[in-house]
Amino acid sequence: MRIWYRVRDLERGRAFYTGALGFEETYIDDEGWIALDRGATEIALSQGEPLGEEGGVAAVDAEDVKAERERLAAAGVEVGTVVELHGAMRVLDVFDPDGNRIQLTEEVG
């Protein structure tokens, strides 16, 4: 499955996803389409007006959501609070520079 996000500045979006979130660029074309992978999650970026809360949300596996929150917050990335769901999963909302939401998830217990 691929989640598609629109970003206002494709280079800034690429830098955020590859730098802050550790995605690897797997494809780019001349028309401004970038594919990025991290584990089982594939994200596609294209230049355009972001959809915000109306768009999709990628759920990306993380080993330690609390540590990721601290690292990202220290780097100036907009992050939410870590939420534990039924003692089975921790979830963290992370926002790219255009306000697109990504969820980092960690299985616990």
Query: The domain spanning residue 69 has which CATH number?
Result: 3.10.180.10
Q: How far apart are CA 11 and CA 57, in angstroms?
A: 20
Task: To the nearest 10°, report the CA torsion of 29, 44, 19, 94.
Answer: 160
Tokens of 29: 């074309």
Please state, for a pLDDT cut of 90, what percent of the chain lies above it.
Answer: 76
User: Which residue, among 96, 100, 82, has the nearest Cα to 20 in the 3D structure?
Assistant: 96
Q: How many CA atoms lie within 13 A of 101 on its CB side?
A: 12
Q: How far apart are CA 96 and CA 6, in angstroms?
A: 11
What are the tens digits of pLDDT across the range 80-93? 999 999 889 999 99
What are the tens digits of pLDDT across the range 42-69? 999 999 988 877 777 889 999 999 999 9
Domain count, the chain: 1
Domain hosting 23: range is 2-49+56-107
Decide if pLDDT at 109 tops 80: no
